[in-house]
Structure formats: structure tokens, C-alpha cells
Amino acid sequence: MFTHRLSLSRPIVLLLLLFQGLGLASVGDAEVTPSEPHFPSSAIRIDKASLDKVIDKNMKSIQDALLPIDPLNLKTIHYPITSKIYLDLRNGWMQNLSLVNRVGPCTLTYTNKVLTADINFGWDKIVADFRYKLKMIFMSRKGDAHVKVSHLSVNTVIDVDFNNYLIILKRLEFVHKGKINVSIQGHIIDKIYNLIIKAITSIVQKSIFKTIESKATEMIQSEIDEINQIISDHHHPFTFLNLVALNNSDVFVS
């Protein structure tokens, strides 16, 4: 089997994929099996490559790249528990986003001028803190809420379509195999305590998912803009298409 070995130009996964597809740089210790072994590196047709080694080797750089957004602010959530009881979560932030690791196989495939990356990242623990306020008809309660989400992973699939110069975020699918632990402080009674715990447990997970999705989209777009500047004299610019849509119909975020 012919193997083409290349070096990682930057720790950002999107750059890894784009540069590999354009033949400008490529994947460090990835094993790449081309269908035409005598082609030059810029014209290699990739059938399939494992990215496991290159991601593991550069995981520290990927973690460091996420440090500027760790911790990350969370948007205010207005949540109707019933028609007469509302829960507000404000001044929220989450941390440990930079403590990401590879949690499954990561692959790169190439078919008909479409480069597809399938990547599995995850976190042992994501923590979040909020100020909560429970509003009822005759009373209100407020205090601090602390949330721990354990064993969270995300499967991301990105296409780089060289036929149409599109970079497509096809999948950002979260898998939560752990627990959500919620603790709250404030002047509360048991019934209200249980009401707040149940509400927070049901909505904070989606808030974290949506925040990660939004930040990932923002970072991908930023990288695409930078790459378009680099390749502007040689290639048509890429357009980002985001096909990911998380269902947040029961969470009102401002």
C-alpha cells in the first residue's frame, strides 16, 4: 500500500482538511491510500485516511486553541415551567471546553471531489454556573445554580466540496452517556427546590449543546475566511453551508 505522509500545518481541524484537499499541506501521521499512487501530492485521490494519530499527536495544540473561549458565556434562558411559573437563568458561563479529547475513530475520505471528515471529540466533564430566578404569581425565588455534565461527546461531519466550492457542516450530533448533576443555593423549600432542579436539568443540556454548536460554527466560518484570503490568487473562494439545526423549541434564549 502506498502511503503519503504529510505534516500538520495548524492545529485547527478545518485547516487540516482544507489544506489537505488543496494539496498545500496535509495530515501529519495519517495513512493515506491513493487510487493513483504515481500522482503528485497535490493531485492525490484519497480513498480513506485515519486521522487518529495526527489528532492525538496535536491534541495539546487543539486544546490550546480553545483556551481563549474557555470559560464561555451562556445566553440568558427564559423558560416557562407552567403557564404561571417561569424560570430565568442569567449570567451563565461554562468551562472545560478546552479539555477536549478524541473519543472515537476520526476519518478522512475522498469521493468525486468531495472530502469528508468524520470526527469524534468529547469531554469528561463540562460545568456551568447560572444565577436563577423562579417567578410565580405570589412569590419568587433566586439564587445560584451549578451544573455538571459528564461524559459528553460530539460527532462532527464536514464536507469540503471541490465541485461547488462549498464547506458543509453536515452533522454536529451530541451523545450524552453520563449524568447531569444540578445543585442550587438560595432560600427555597423542598417542593420549589425539586421544581427548579427538574427544570434546570431539562434545559441546561440543550443550552450547552446550542452554545457549542454556535461557537463551532463561528470558528469554522472564521477559518474559512482566513483560508479564502490565503488561496484567493489560486482558487475560487469557499462558501460555508451549515446544515446543522438543533431543536430548541422549548427553550427561549435571548
CA distances to 63, 128, 148, 209 from 236, in Å: 31, 42, 44, 33
Model confidence band, residue 37 (pLDDT cutoffs 50, 70, 90): very low
pLDDT band at 151 (very low <50, low <70, confident <90, very high): very high
Cell numbers linked to 163:
465541485
Q: Classify residue 108: in a domain, yes or no.
A: yes
34, 2 Cβ separation under 8 angstroms: yes
The whole-chain average pLDDT of the chain stands at 75
Higher-confidence residue: 246 or 98? 98
Q: Phi and psi dihedrals of 85, rounded to 5?
A: -130, 125
5 in a structural domain: no
pLDDT tens profile 83-142: 888 888 999 999 999 999 999 999 888 888 888 889 999 999 999 999 988 888 777 888
What average pLDDT does the segment 151-174 reach? Answer: 89
- Assess if residue 3 is contained within a domain: no
Cell 479564502 maps to which residue? 228
Average pLDDT over residues 45-70: 83
- Residue 110 has what pLDDT? 83
| pLDDT for res 190 | 64
CATH of the domain at 166: 3.15.10.50
What is the Cβ-side half-sphere exposure of residue 124, based on CA atoms within 13 angstroms? 2
| Res. 186: pLDDT tops 80 | no
- 7 assigned to some structural domain: no
What does the block give as the cell for 233? 490568487
**Within a domain: 201:** yes
Residues pairing with 93 in the sheet: 73, 129
What is residue 207's predicted lDDT score, i.e. its pLDDT? 86
212-230 pLDDT, tens digit each: 888 888 888 888 888 788 7
What does the pLDDT average to over 24-35?
39
Q: Do 121 and 154 contact (CB within 8 A), yes or no?
A: yes
Does residue 29 fall inside a structural domain? yes
What is the distance of C-alpha 49 from the center of its chain?
22
Q: Per the domain annotation, does 236 fall within a domain?
A: yes
DSSP H helical segments within the chain, as ranges?
13-22, 52-57, 59-66, 190-230
> Which triple of cell numbers denotes residue 30?
495519517
Size of the chain, expressed as the number of residues it contains: 254
Q: What range defines the domain where residue 27 resides?
A: 13-253
Please give the tally of structural domains in the chain. Answer: 1
On whether residue 1 sits in a domain, the answer given is: no
pTM of the model as a whole: 0.73
